[in-house]
Structure 1
Amino acid sequence: MTFALPRALRLATLTAAIGLATALPVSALDLDALTDDERNAFRDEVRAYLLENPEVLMEAIGVLEQRQAEAQVQQDKDLVTVNADAIFNDGFSHVAGNPDGDYTIVEFVDYQCGYCRKAYEVLHDLLEKDGNIRLILKEFPILSEASLMSAQFAISAQQQFGEEVYVQLHDELIAVRGAVTEERLIELADDLGLDGAAIAAGMSSPEVDRVLKENRELGKRLGITGTPAFVMKDTMARGFMELEQMEYIVSQGRAAQ
């Protein structure tokens, strides 16, 4: 015997199918109030509808993904707003490019990260092409002990000898391959005409520890779990981007100002 659904229940079934596909709550139907036969018929109707109209499910999934992406963008904007001072004006991160530029990019960088090395080249090209960008570098060593040592060395140099020395070391450290030891870091600095031993002596200072702690805590609040990661105006961009991608985000951000 064929069990026929009442018209109201059939309409509710179609609503449920669409609701299921879009991850929306199905308020039009109380499944607990159905008999076993009605519940089984409901399931059959849903299955049959989706098999006959798979494009509805794909369309609904697309809508859901779009909504999720939009929600993530808004969540990132809110996180940037709440943490703006720590992101853009912490008082210790190195500022490259044009300090008075109309657009700010913040990079969370790890010297042992291969994609950070690629991003270094992209950012160099971007700053060469666009003289109105302010670039803030945040030491964010998360990959290894070598990452931590390199970051400590760079920050110690910055604190003891200033921004120009930091830039010299940053440019060298991002290109280092192979094992990283304190002795190698000292030698690298000495080869640049710097006082490698003095820089190494300050690696574990409370001031260096404070910078790294604040960067770690900021990264945690922003949901940053890998490098490179960028804050571009009020947009979060996680992962490596080609030059064209960065230029597009910059242009969009400027257009919205």
Structure 2
Amino acid sequence: MHRRTVLLGLTALIGARLATRVRADDLSAEMILNDPDAPVSGNPKGDLTIVSFFDYNCPFCKRTVEPLNTVLASDGDIRHVYKDWPILAKSSIYGAKLALAARYQDRYEDAYSALMRIDGSGISEGRMQQELERAGFDMKRLEADAKRHDAKIVSLLQRNNAQAESLGLRGTPVFLIGQFLVASALDEAGFRQVVKDAREAS
């Protein structure tokens, strides 16, 4: 499917609120790096920030989870910002909303990890529910949280989408590592090299 078709579908699937006006400030480097509603892991005071744009139906994104986590754990001085960008399927939006709802239980990373462990693409909502339950989530509570915080979650997805568009991104995964934009499924060595390059360039 052509990317433009996917993004137009995203607007329709998330709802009319996604099409509301995006403020210029939402597209700033400051908001891309420090959106207060975007989940963050790693060292919140790290000397380098990695921003990840991803989709739960992207098999290439899933390949990067373990290597990036290894680098974050061993380095200890990297801040990681998650940008849920559900552009591949309707279930991507469902998964993103549930993962972001898990943040209200302080369990975003648990939900992210559970959804990223599912092999392949075209994942059904039912399969996502199964994996989240296996990770210890009460689905009734999680879906209630998603409904309760829907406006805020949709607003975040709107900003993520607008930021991706402003950066000219064409798909997932994409990593902003310091001043470098990397549209590739990096392995551990790849992450370490770009991290090294970003620190040297700063």
Q: Partner amino acid for 2:177? A: M
Q: Partner amino acid for 2:114? A: E
Deviation, structure 1 residue 190? 3.2
Larger CA deviation: 180-189 vs 245-254: 180-189
Asked if structure 2 preserves the Cα contact closer than 8 Å seen for 1:156 and 1:203, the reply is yes
Structure 1 vs Structure 2 CA RMSD: 1.9
Q: What are the residue-to-residue correspondences of 1:72-221 with 2, within 5 Å?
A: 83-158=28-103, 160-162=104-106, 165-177=107-119, 180-203=123-146, 205-221=150-166
Query: Could you tell me how far apart the structure 2 residues matched to 1:113 and 1:193 are?
Result: 23
Query: Could you tell me how far apart the structure 2 residues matched to 1:145 and 1:92 are?
Result: 22
Q: Partner amino acid for 1:177? A: D
Q: Partner amino acid for 1:188? A: E
Unaligned runs of 5+ in 1: 1-81
Query: Could you tell me how far apart the structure 2 residues matched to 1:150 and 1:233 are?
Result: 28
Aligned-partner SS, 1:203: helix
What are the Cα deviations for residues 156-175 of structure 1, in whole angstroms up to 9, with x where unaligned? 121x312xx11111111001
Deviation, structure 1 residue 113? 0.5
**Greater relative contact order (Cα < 8 A, sep 6+):** 2
Deviation, structure 1 residue 202? 4.0
Unaligned runs of 5+ in 2: 1-26
TM, length-normalised to structure 2:
0.78
Deviation, structure 1 residue 230? 0.8
Aligned-partner SS, 1:189: helix
The equivalent position to 1:246 in structure 2, one of 166, 191, 195, is: 191
Q: Which aligned runs of 4 or more in structure 1 are off by greater than 6 angstroms? A: none
Larger CA deviation: 120-129 vs 193-202: 193-202
TM, length-normalised to structure 1:
0.62
Larger CA deviation: 82-91 vs 226-235: 82-91
Deviation, structure 1 residue 100? 1.1
Deviation, structure 1 residue 180? 4.0
Percentage identity across paired residues of the two chains: 30
* Partner residue, 1:13: none
Aligned residues: 173
> Greater CA radius of gyration, 1 or 2?
1
Q: Partner amino acid for 1:131? A: G
Asked if structure 2 preserves the Cα contact closer than 8 Å seen for 1:109 and 1:140, the reply is yes
Aligned-partner SS, 2:146: coil
Query: Could you tell me how far apart the structure 1 residues matched to 2:125 and 2:190 are?
Result: 37
Larger CA deviation: 176-185 vs 197-206: 176-185
* Partner residue, 1:23: none
Asked if structure 2 preserves the Cα contact closer than 8 Å seen for 1:186 and 1:200, the reply is no
